[in-house]
Amino acid sequence: MITKRISFLTDKDCCGCGVCAAVCPIDCITLVANDEGFLYPDIDGTRCTDCGLCTKVCPLQHNTEIYDRISPPQVYAAWNLDDDIRRQSSSGGVFSVLAGAVLKEGGVVAGAAFAENMVCRHILVDEEIGLASLRGSKYVQSEIPSELFQYIRSLLDHGRHVFFTGTPCQVAGLRNFVVKDFPNLLCADLVCHGVPSPAWFRKFINESQTESKRIINIDFRNKEIGWNFSTAKVKTNYSDGTSLIERWFNNSYMVSFSRDYALRESCYACKFTTTCRQGDLTLADYWKVAMKYPEYDTEDKGTSLVLVNSRKGQAWLTRCQAKLFIGTGDLEHAILGNPMLVRPASRPIVRNDFYRHASEMSVNQLRRKYQLHRRPIWRRILAALRRRVKRLVDTSV
Beta-strand relationship, 324-328 and 304-310: unpaired
Residue 139 contacts residue 205 (beta carbons within 8 Å): no
Lowest mean pLDDT among 12-16, 80-84, 323-327, 390-394: 390-394
Torsion of CA 340, 346, 351, 354, to 10 degrees: -50
Q: What is the mean pLDDT of the chain?
A: 93
| Beta carbons within 8 Å of 339's beta carbon, 6+ residues apart | none
Alpha carbons 301 and 92: distance in angstroms, whole number: 7
Contact present, 281 and 317 (Cβ < 8 Å) = yes
Separation of CA 321 from chain center: 25
The mean pLDDT of 76-81, rounded to a whole number, is 97
Strands annotated E in the chain: 29-33, 39-43, 69-80, 108-114, 120-125, 162-166, 185-190, 215-222, 233-238, 243-247, 281-285, 304-310, 324-328
Report field, pTM of the whole predicted structure over 0.85:
yes
Indicate the angle between helix axes 198-206 and 351-358, nearest 10 degrees: 50
* Res 377 pLDDT > 70: no
Nearest Cα residue to 54 out of 17, 2, 10: 17
DSSP letter at 12 equals G
pLDDT at 389 over 90: no
Among the residues of 191-310, which ranges form H helices?
Answer: 198-206, 252-258, 289-292
Write down the domain spans for the chain. 69-341
CB atoms under 10 Å from CB of 381, counted, come to: 11
pLDDT (mean) for 36-56: 95
What digits encode the pLDDT tens for the residues 163-205? 999 999 999 999 999 999 999 999 999 999 999 999 999 999 9
Angle at 34 between CA 123 and CA 23, to 5 degrees: 45
Is 209 within 8 Å of 118 (Cβ atoms)? no
My answer on whether omega of the bond before 41 falls inside 30° of 0, hence cis, is no
- The span from the CA of 164 to the CA of 122, in Å, is 10
Quick one: average pLDDT of 32-45? 96
From the number of C-beta atoms within 10 Å of its C-beta (0-12, 13-18, 19+), residue 358 rates as buried
Place 1 in a pLDDT band, splitting at 50, 70 and 90.
very low
Q: What is the 3-state secondary structure of 228-258?
A: CCCCCEEEEEECCCCEEEEEHHHCHHHHHHH
